[in-house]
């Protein structure tokens, strides 16, 4: 199934004297870019979350946030005297260095010091933290499931849009083929007229050489190969969409090929009608390429 790189999921939970809220969101990216904002005092949580996300997701700029708070009103706290001593010594050194340079610093208040990491610890046992981490990790599969379902819903909408765009490209390619076929007789007559004009105004010109040059010009203005490749690209794009994600990278490359053929078609057109259709093709291709950027 086709998946979009855009998605969002949230969840809430409560256990072990804590309550928490998850938020998982993503936007498009060339690769998988994970950004986690989770409490660092739960040892081992971030590596496990990163591993779970890497396994489940292929592409996207993914942000995971986890906010945790105590639900117990009388949470047991403990002062980490070793960390406090280190912090106070560091503050003293900073003040000393500032005074040597003639700088005046405002004194730190106790609340600011207590807020520093590691100074004030909750008196939770290692077993409590293990239980909390396991509980949190047990919710990750459901969070990822909701997230993936939203990405698939977005992917289904993208697929519908891109299928319509492929149909439009196919229609414009067919119109280009009709115009190219209709102009063949006109171009052949123009080449004959040009050949006669050159021979009339060029004494000693080799008729065979002049005819060869004009034939080369005719080959350079032929758009048959470009139209054939456009048809092949449409078929290839439909096959990729049918396979489902992850096909975003392949589709992105294919859109570059679409654009190349449309550019060549316009440069060879030498016809107002064919140029108009070529420009319409470029517009649809650019629109589809924007959609492809969101495909995983």
Domain with residue 229: its CATH number is 1.20.140
Is 284 part of any domain?
A: yes
Same-domain pairing of 29 and 136: yes
Query: Cα dihedral angle (124, 125, 127, 129), rounded to 10 degrees?
Result: 30
Burial of residue 188 (number of CB atoms within 10 Å: 0-12, 13-18, 19+)? exposed
Same-domain pairing of 167 and 210: yes
Same-domain pairing of 69 and 168: no
pTM of the predicted protein model: 0.70
Is 119 part of any domain?
A: no
Domain residue limits at 104: 77-114
Number of domains in the chain: 3
Same-domain pairing of 145 and 217: no
Is 36 part of any domain?
A: yes
Residue 197 has which token pair? 């004009």
What integer pLDDT is reported at residue 35 of this predicted model? 96
Same-domain pairing of 162 and 246: yes
Same-domain pairing of 52 and 21: yes
What integer pLDDT is reported at residue 184 of this predicted model? 67
pLDDT higher than threshold 80 for residue 208: no
Same-domain pairing of 41 and 82: no
- Digit-coded pLDDT (tens) for 232-256: 999 999 999 999 888 999 999 999 9
Bridge pairing between strands 18-27 and 7-15:
antiparallel
- Digit-coded pLDDT (tens) for 172-183: 999 999 988 877
Same-domain pairing of 265 and 171: yes
């Amino acid at each position: 199934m086709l998946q979009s790189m855009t998605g969002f999921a949230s969840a809430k939970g409560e256990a072990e004297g804590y309550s928490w809220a998850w938020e998982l969101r993503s936007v498009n990216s060339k690769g998988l870019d994970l950004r986690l904002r989770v409490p660092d005092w739960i040892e081992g949580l971030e590596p496990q979350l990163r591993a779970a996300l890497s396994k489940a997701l292929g592409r996207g700029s993914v942000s995971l946030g986890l906010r945790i708070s105590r639900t117990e009103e009388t949470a047991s706290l403990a002062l980490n005297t070793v960390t406090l001593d280190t912090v106070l010594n560091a503050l003293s050194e900073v003040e000393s260095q500032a005074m040597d340079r003639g700088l005046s610093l405002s004194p730190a208040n106790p609340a600011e010091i207590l807020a520093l990491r590691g100074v004030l610890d909750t008196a939770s046992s290692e077993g409590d933290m293990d239980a909390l981490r396991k509980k949190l990790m047990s919710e990750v599969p459901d969070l990822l499931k909701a997230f993936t379902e939203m990405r698939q819903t977005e992917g289904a909408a993208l697929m519908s849009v891109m299928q319509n765009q492929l149909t439009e490209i196919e229609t414009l390619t067919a119109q280009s083929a009709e115009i190219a076929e209709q102009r063949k007789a006109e171009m052949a007559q123009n080449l004959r007229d040009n050949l006669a004009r050159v021979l009339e105004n060029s004494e000693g010109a080799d008729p065979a050489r002049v005819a060869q040059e004009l034939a080369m010009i005719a080959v350079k203005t032929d758009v048959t190969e470009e139209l054939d490749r456009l048809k092949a690209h449409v078929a290839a794009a439909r096959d990729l969409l049918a396979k489902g994600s992850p096909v975003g990278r392949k589709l992105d490359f294919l859109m570059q090929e679409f654009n190349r053929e449309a550019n060549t078609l316009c440069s060879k057109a030498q016809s107002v009608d064919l140029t108009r259709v070529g420009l319409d093709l470029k517009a649809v291709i650019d629109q589809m390429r924007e959609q492809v950027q969101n495909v995983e």
